[in-house]
Structure 1
Amino acid sequence: MAGTVQQEPAYVLHRRPWRETSLQVDVFTLNAGRQSLIARGANSAKSPLKAQLQPFQPLLLDWTGRSNLKTLTQAEVRSGPSLNRTTALYSGLYINELLQRILPVADPHPSLFAAYIDVIAELALTDDVEPVLRRFERSFAEALGYSFAWDMATDTGIGVEAGQSYCYDPEQGILQRPDRNVRLRRLSGDTLLALAEGDLQSPECRRTAKRVMRVLVDYLLQGRPLHSRSLFSHARREPNES
């Protein structure tokens, strides 16, 4: 999206200092996808933008420019949920890092933007973040063309059967007869069928969904680390956090 943009729904994914008093802000927007904006003077004490350009805050943004690095001209803050719990905050940072590191620049995904709004609202309300994260990861995979069905083996075209063992590969999905280079093995057919029914509560379903989505995310990252993962390790060591 080039030229001048006005009143674009957006969320801040990440921000960092730029030159002496400005900020470079990576945002996820409804109609322009991921964008990088320069907020001039926003890193100074007198600028209201420093408080406005916060992660998880619904925004309406104006910007101008035709290069990959555009200039923010106005920001309007809208009301939205707050991620006050530590685990919810870390989960939100994980989602933001996924979008920032993997989502192509200027590639709109309106359905993923809607899923992002939903996941922030859900994280604000629950202590049980795992099902919320798994559902968003599925939406993320679908937006990038890596969707698959839990109950269908793509290599054979045959539905998953209880009592059988399966594998997962990011490029192919669930497999019944994989080659030796497949990334994830020994997935229970019973568990895959339960996941196809939406079960994200049983321990085995949670473990399997997490393993599968971890393999997919690592594949999409192509060896780059996710710094937000270390936050979850820290949170698990805090006895007062769920």
Structure 2
Amino acid sequence: MATAVQQEPAYVLHRRPWRETSLQVDVFSLNAGRMSLIARGANSARSPLKAQLQPFQPLLLDWTGRGDLKTLTQTEVRSGPVLRGTTPLYSGLYINELLQRILPAADPHPTLFAAYIDVLAELAGNDDVEPVLRRFERSFVEALGYSFAWDLARDTGAEVEPGQRYCYDPEQGIVQVPSQQVRLRNLPGDALLALAEGDFVSLECRRTAKRVMRVLVDYLLQGKPLHSRTLFSHGRKEPTERNQ
């Protein structure tokens, strides 16, 4: 039996041509999670949908259908922040690709949806994107059940201590004693303690957070590449510690 949904808050993650004149649109919605919609005729020159179905644009969507592919029936555009400049734009594309490629389909995550709204607003008004990205990555992995305590060594149960060095493994979290499956070593305890408090001020904290989150994201990708990571290297400026 076909289901009909009306006025569902959603954002476009990715879109691609479908058949001759339509688009297949991957969206992240409040109550339905990540899903794919067919926007019939949206790829034709006369359709207003081609301009409306853009990434980072707040939308209210109606759809109907059964199975994995639903049919978009109505689109309402809402006002929202605009990502201007290379760094915020590429960072937004990175976040969209995380959601599209890793988040399970048809699995609602209202808290993550709220975090997505917040991160777009932060990216729109901030060129220092690294803390913004790391905070969203935390919300993302927490929604998937991969959160961990930055200030606790899981293997020993001891609190992280300043001046000590630690390791990280996606299946365990922070660990004190290296083992064969450990993916990341030599993490400074001082930085881990600061990150536990959400402190991204020092360069050491930023580097540590980026190293850990990249290992975890790669683990969740299961060997699949993230195309958005190549944008900086192919663009006009190279990635730095202040970029993703």
* Deviation, structure 1 residue 237: 3.7
Deviations 1:53-74 (A, max 9, x none): 0000000000001110110000
**Do residues 44 (structure 1) and 44 (structure 2) align?**
yes
* Deviation, structure 1 residue 232: 2.2
Match of 1:18?
18
Match of 1:149?
149
What is the root-mean-square deviation in Å for CA atoms of aligned residues? 1.4
Please list, as runs of the form range in 1=range in 2, the aligned pairs for 1:27-176 lying within 5 A after superposition. Answer: 27-176=27-176
**Do residues 236 (structure 1) and 237 (structure 2) align?**
yes
Q: Give the TM-score taking structure 1 as reference length.
A: 0.96
Deviations 1:10-64 (A, max 9, x none): 0000000000000000000000000100000000011111110000000000000
Greater displacement, 106-115 / 152-161: 152-161
Where does structure 1 differ by over 6 angstroms across 4 or more consecutive aligned residues? none
Q: Give the TM-score taking structure 2 as reference length.
A: 0.95
Q: Distance in 2 between matches of 1:128 and 1:228?
A: 18
* Deviation, structure 1 residue 158: 1.3
Identity %, equivalent residues: 82
Q: Distance in 1 between matches of 2:204 and 2:141?
A: 21
Aligned length in residues: 239
Give the partner amino acid of 1:38.
I
Match of 1:201?
201
Task: Mark the runs of 5 or more structure 1 residues left unpaired by the alignment.
Answer: none
* Deviation, structure 1 residue 236: 2.6
Q: Secondary structure at the match of 1:74?
A: strand
**Do residues 184 (structure 1) and 184 (structure 2) align?**
yes
Q: Distance in 1 between matches of 2:236 and 2:209?
A: 21
Q: 1:87·1:235 contact (CA, 8 Å) conserved in 2?
A: no
Give the partner amino acid of 2:167.
C
Q: 1:34·1:106 contact (CA, 8 Å) conserved in 2?
A: yes
